[in-house]
Amino acid sequence: MNQSTPISMAGSVPGLAYRKLRDRVIESLLLGAALVAVFTTLAIVFVLVRESLPFFEHVSLRDFLTDTMWTPLFADARYGILPLVAGTMVTTLVALSVAIPCGTLIAIYLSEFAPHRLREVIKPALELLGAVPTVVYGYFALMMVTPFLQKLIPGLPGFNMLSAGLVIGIMIIPYVASVSEDAMRAVPNYMREGSYAMGATRFQTATRVVVPGALSGIAAAYILGISRAVGETMVVAVAAGLQPNLTWNPTEPAATITAFIVQVSLGDLPHDSIGYQSIFAAGLVLMLMTLVFNIAGFTLTRRFRQAY
């Protein structure tokens, strides 16, 4: 009487087949969206290589890497990337001399000393520093920092790498600070407690336990900062001058790789001219430089995340 009839589930749930099919379709659409990232990378490499190939047919790689003059827009054109690389390195070094000490200090303070509430307020505020449009920073470097520096250093030209570099440094402080702070916060609390138990002060714990423990992450923060500084464009285009100049002196004007690309883009060179193709060659060099730093940075961050 009370015998229950076994019901077969298969096929009895209405629309299940349709829902499963819909899931399949949606999954492949989502995959397609994720693949956009892969295609973007491939497209960047493809475009840079294809557009700079004609350039390297005209200019030998040896000249490109060893010539000390970069004058692709002159009648007597020379194609040595060194002056642009030197300009890029000088502005980057100046930027790092600001961003590394400030960023590290802020990170140590926020991670080890600041009360919780203050950190909650300060962190987003610091991020604003990295959100300022770069062209506004360019104005800041040209119209405010340079006049100020001219009072300190008489004879400083209106365009110089020093003020551009200093401002880039301010700009990348938040990147350096936030990645270093993440690394310091990843140091487990028992290490701090061990240190306190031995009678160490906060300062001693921070400098002798936390910072050494977070070293690979802090290094990653510096390297990611370098990568940002190398690729920064508008600050140098506005404030450092657009004249390629092989010098290591930050008080001189000089063009960086990025500033050169902007300068050519502002003019109207025909598509098939060598000057036009030279910006892709310059872009390729820039891409390779940042790629090396990015890979190094990410490898190091991965290491600190796995360490504990």
Partner 1 sequence: MGAVTAQASIEQIRADVSRRKIFDKLFVVVGMLVMFSALLVLAVLFIDLVQKGAPRLNLEFLTQFPSRKPERAGILSAWVGTSLIMLTTAAITMPIGVAAAIYLEEYAPKNWFTAIIEINVTNLAGVPSIIYGLLALGLFVYQFNLGQTILTAGLTLSLLILPIVIVATRESLRAVPRPIREAAYALGATRWEVTAHHVLPYSMGGILTGMIIGLSRAIGETAPLITIGALSFIAFLPQSPITAEFPFLSFAWLKDAFTAMPIQMFNWVSRPDPEFQVNAAAAGAILLGMTLLMNGIAIWLRYRYRKRINW
Chain positions 134 to 153 lying near partner 1, rule: CB under 8 A, are 134-136, 138-140, 142-144
Q: How far is the CB of 76 from partner 1 (least distance, A)?
A: 26
Nearer to partner 1, 77 or 109 (CB): 109
CB 50 within 8 A of CB 56: no
38 interacts with partner 1 by CB under 8 A = yes
Nearer to partner 1, 66 or 288 (CB): 288
Stretch that binds partner 1, among 53-61, 63-71, 232-240, 247-255 (CB under 8 A): 232-240
How far is it, in rounded angstroms, from Cα 76 to Cα 30? 53
| Structure tokens that stand for 114 in this block | 């600041």
Quote the DSSP letter at residue 79: B
Q: Which of residues 261-290 bind partner 1 (CB under 8 A)?
A: 261-262, 265-266, 271, 279-280, 283, 286-287, 290
CA-wise closest residue to 228 among 290, 139, 162, 165: 290
Angle at 180 (CA atoms; ends 175, 184), nearest 5 degrees: 155
User: Of the two residues 75 and 197, which places its CB atom closer to partner 1 in the complex?
Assistant: 197
Q: 245 or 258: whose CB is closer to partner 1?
A: 258
Phi/psi at 286 (5° precision): -60, -45
Q: For residues 155 and 267, which CB has a smaller minimum distance to partner 1 in the complex?
A: 267
Query: From residue 76 to residue 105, what is the string marking binding to partner 1 with x (rule CB under 8 A)?
Result: --------------------------x--x
Determine the distance from the C-alpha atom of residue 78 to the mean position of all C-alpha atoms in its chain, rounded to a whole number. Answer: 30
| Residues 86/247, Cβ–Cβ less than 8 Å | yes
The interaxial angle of helices 161-185 and 215-231, nearest 10 deg, is: 150
Nearest CB to partner 1, comparing residues 90 and 110: 110
Residue 292 in contact with partner 1, rule: CB under 8 A: no
Does the protein bind partner 1 through residue 156 (CB under 8 A)?
no
Question: Amino acid identity, residue 296?
Answer: A
7-36 binders of partner 1 (CB under 8 A): 13, 19-20, 22-23, 26-27, 29-36
Q: Please tell me whether residue 56 binds partner 1 under the rule CB under 8 A.
A: no
Stretch that binds partner 1, among 41-49, 72-80, 149-157, 187-195 (CB under 8 A): 41-49
The one segment of 55-63, 72-80, 179-187, 293-301 that binds partner 1 by CB under 8 A: 293-301
If binding is defined by CB under 8 A, does position 170 make contact with partner 1?
A: yes
Task: Mark residue 155 as left, alpha or beta (left: phi above 0; alpha: psi -120 to 50; beta: remaining).
Answer: left
Phi then psi for residue 147, to 5 deg, are: -55, -35
Q: Site residues for partner 1, window 203-222 (CB under 8 A)? A: 203-204, 206
In contact, 184 and 108? CB cutoff 8 Å: yes
Query: Among 10, 125, 152, 197, which residue sits at the site for partner 1 (rule: CB under 8 A)?
Result: 125
Q: How far is the CB of 47 from partner 1 (least distance, A)?
A: 4
Residue 101 CB neighbour total at 10 angstroms: 13
Q: How many of the other CB atoms lie within 10 Å of CB of 89? A: 17
